[in-house]
């Protein structure tokens, strides 16, 4: 269900982007569209969910929560015009590092995992804040991208759980074939 909602949201956002200048843009829709409007944000936020689910336990909620919390902090830095150096490089590094953590199956203590994603989230949040349209509500904008981010994290968690379940079912099925 979560993946269906995310897909509909992406399709809707793409169709809305095709009609720039038609009507007004709300803060919520602008905020919701920012994370799903760039592949770098999609990959990093989806990866946070994948990695959290790989680690399991409390990491499944604490690691995404750390990301969202620090992303909000980064947003307020961006809104205040505070310069965070190497924003784009930090966002790119988040995709590479999180992809490597997932691919290599690296599990870290939860505090270090939360700290790592929190650092990356500051880059993402600063980009969100710096790129917020001037004529929208800050609160609506933040709520929009927080929801989109949470959905991307959730999609990563659900995907990992589904893959795990399919792997278990395949193993059970193959054991009955012997």
Residues 6+ apart with CB under 8 A from 16: 29, 33
Would you list the domain boundaries of the chain?
46-165
Q: Which two tokens stand for residue 68?
A: 């969202």
Beta strands in 54-164 (DSSP E): none
Alpha-carbon separation of residue 125 from 122, 128, 133 (angstroms): 5, 5, 14
Tell me what pLDDT residue 172 has. Answer: 64
DSSP 68: H
The residue with tokens 């980009």 is 127
The residue with tokens 């599990």 is 107
Q: Which two tokens stand for residue 139?
A: 């609160």
pLDDT tens track of the chain, all 178 residues? 555 544 555 544 444 443 333 445 688 999 999 888 889 999 999 999 999 999 999 999 999 999 999 999 999 998 888 889 999 999 999 999 999 999 999 999 999 999 999 999 999 999 988 888 888 999 999 999 999 999 999 999 999 999 988 876 667 666 667 6
Tell me what pLDDT residue 173 has. Answer: 61
Residues 6+ apart with CB under 8 A from 11: none
Tell me what pLDDT residue 49 has. Answer: 97
CA 5 from chain centre, in angstroms, equals 15
The pTM of this model reads 0.81
Angstrom distance (rounded) from CA 151 to CA 42: 10
């Amino acid at each position: 269900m979560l993946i269906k909602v995310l897909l509909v949201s992406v399709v809707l956002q793409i169709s809305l982007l095709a009609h720039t200048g038609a009507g007004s843009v709300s803060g919520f829709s602008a905020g919701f569209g920012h994370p799903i409007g760039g592949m770098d944000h999609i990959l990093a936020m989806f990866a946070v969910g994948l990695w959290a689910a790989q680690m399991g336990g409390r990491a499944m909620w604490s690691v995404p929560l750390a990301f969202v919390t620090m992303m909000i902090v980064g947003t307020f830095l961006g809104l205040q015009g505070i310069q965070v150096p190497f924003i784009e490089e930090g966002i790119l590094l988040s995709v590479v590092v999180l992809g490597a953590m997932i691919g290599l199956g690296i599990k870290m203590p939860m505090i270090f995992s939360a700290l790592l994603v929190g650092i990356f989230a500051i880059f993402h949040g600063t980009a969100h804040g710096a790129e917020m349209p001037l004529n929208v509500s800050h609160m609506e904008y933040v709520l929009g991208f927080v929801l989109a981010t949470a959905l991307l994290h959730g999609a990563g968690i659900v995907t990992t759980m589904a893959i795990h379940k399919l792997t278990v079912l395949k193993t059970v099925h193959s054991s009955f074939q012997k």
